[in-house]
Structure 1
Amino acid sequence: MDRERMLVNLFYAQPVGHAIEALHYCTGHAAAVPGREVSVALNAATAVELAAFCPAVTAVHPVDHPFLEPCEDSADRLRELPRDWDWVVDDTRRHQPFQYELFPGMRDYYAASDAHLRTPGGRRSVVGAERAGYRPHQRLRLDLPLAVREQAARRLAPGRPPAGRIAFMPAGSSDASLYPSPDSWLLVLDALTEAFPGLEIVLVGRTARDRRTSTALTAEGLRALRGHRSSPVDCFDVPLAEQLAVVEACDVFLAPHTGFGLAALAVGTPWLALSGGRWFEYWFNHVPFRSVLPDTGRHPSFSQFDPAVVVLDGDDGPRTPSMTRARVVEDLERIVGAAGELLAGTLGYERAVREYVTALVAAHGGDSSAIWSIDSVHLQYL
């Protein structure tokens, strides 16, 4: 008997986190129907290679199609995507009209895929839909190749450093105003180095400028962080799989909100997020984490699709309020405390989620309706 074939059709923006979202849904749909073959269609500009490390995925189909701009030849761009499936489940965002207004290329992709993809008996739905067979809140664990793990290990100090090891990504790919300045991060690194003598810090990120995401950090800022007195291990610009293996070998991943934080959780490394900016953390992968939330009364945050408030932060230039030096200084003790919990392994996953959801509701003025999460996991903690 032929196995059931499903396509997770998740064409969205290129940040790494959206690839992880797609693999999360692949995992849930595969778990629901033993023997089901689950393939995934992704924006070719995202980290499509991660699908090869997801045990739930049979095949990945990169689609070279614009996302922000309209596309006149969408049908031609989908020619290599197999047409016939037992199930096709689309990204839920394709049914949000404002997404099409913001991203015309996404609109054109789904119009073309509606015409291109065929399923028997209307077996088309959205990711996470029960009718398509789905088990929510599964743990996604990327299985990196042994050779990649060995190469990553050669970049790090042998054995476990006395105080542990923190992978540090200073910025994501959005505007620089949405992340702390290098000078603010130097204060954080100073505090961590003083609190945990012997701590090994590993810098990760990507400076290449192409259609994939790259750091908002300037070359000057990167030089300043590389020169910190802790002598960080520099893993900027090594291949993505190897960077993930480096993160996997660390006890904590420290970063502001970034899609790479989802990838860190997918290799089992706790994420210490300096939370703020436009987006809160919304994916829970059975891995302990801490999101140090700002005082949103004084540091407005989480505008999501609306533009973030930006202020002048002295010599650090434009910053959203939750990423100013004053906010970082205000929360240094909390950052160090959270790092201590995660380095020591004393924080369990259930407590991490419960305390985070409670704090996130408070950060939204008590309005839980403003909060969402993948698979709506947060609802059970309200």
Structure 2
Amino acid sequence: MERSRQAPLSILLKHSGALSPALLTQVAAAAGRWRQAEIDINFMGDLAQNLFPSPLPRCDMLARLELSIDDRRTSLFRHVAPEEVVQAFPLLVAFTLQTDETQVPSAFDLLWPRLEECNLTQCRSRDVLKVLALLSSNCRVGLTSCGQDCQADTLSSIVTVCRASVVSIVTIGSRQAHFLSLLSTILQLPNARKLWLPVSHRSLLSIPGFLNRSPTLSHLHLHISDQTDPHSQTLAELVDWPELGNIRRLELWLHKDRNSTRLLDALKRADSKALPRLNSLAIRGAGVNLAWILAVHKARAPQLQKLLVPINTTIPQPPIPGFDVQFWDTQFLGEWSKNLEII
């Protein structure tokens, strides 16, 4: 910890043999200076009570918290009242929770509506749906390896309205049935402007209906991580979906070894009915060339104003007036969920 008694602190507590009751008590005593914290409680056992005693210490400066907690290993937060949590974290706006296949503690129930950024990792129970329903329209939410181990039809009667403005679903993993249920029937996003989805053949078939339940969506990112799934023709057909009629920004992150010729041909086809409002297109993983860039511009001008292409692609020189061509790099990916402005 920093020596100054007034300076904000960044806390990182993970598995370490150096932790002791005295050290954790000292860290807890400085809770009023925590600015951001990443804490794995699971390995602490009873030592966790020294860090989060009862009542919880006030973290008056804490804005970002990443917490790993598994109630099979620790009872911390199991009996904490939701009112105590919001009093302890009055300025918390960004919360990442990893629960390792256990339930989401009800102690956080009053925290969810206040968040501007929420990330749930390995929350493998129906509690994920409860959390999604509590988020506000100002929130950006990310789901990583979340969902219940069950058949899709056991969840078909559940409808969850999530009012978050940005939604990112990452790493389907073994939660395929639950993920498909989210797309097919469960999840409604009445306020979502940005959506990030992993794509397979099965999930692709569920996306049109999902888009119909998301009327405000204008920014769609599709991550195709498999070389052959979905089939190239099936993927190319998405360009003609009427459900994409309101999409203004489309980002396609493709497997680097997949044959994307049909998709690229569909994107450069002159057809006003396909993606009629598209003004920003990004391609990553597929090889494009100058001829393709010029063909896309000819087919979609003047509506398409921005194109992001893989690094090392030959781009028009001199630049085409009204058509901004840039490289899509890893920094752009990192900024995706942070930038709420619709281009």
- Pairwise TM-score range, normalised by the shorter structure: under 0.3
Q: Between the two structures, name the one with larger relative contact order (CA 8 Å, sep ≥ 6).
A: 1
TM-score (norm 2): 0.26
Higher helix share: 1
TM-score (norm 1): 0.24
Higher strand share: 2
Larger Rg: 2
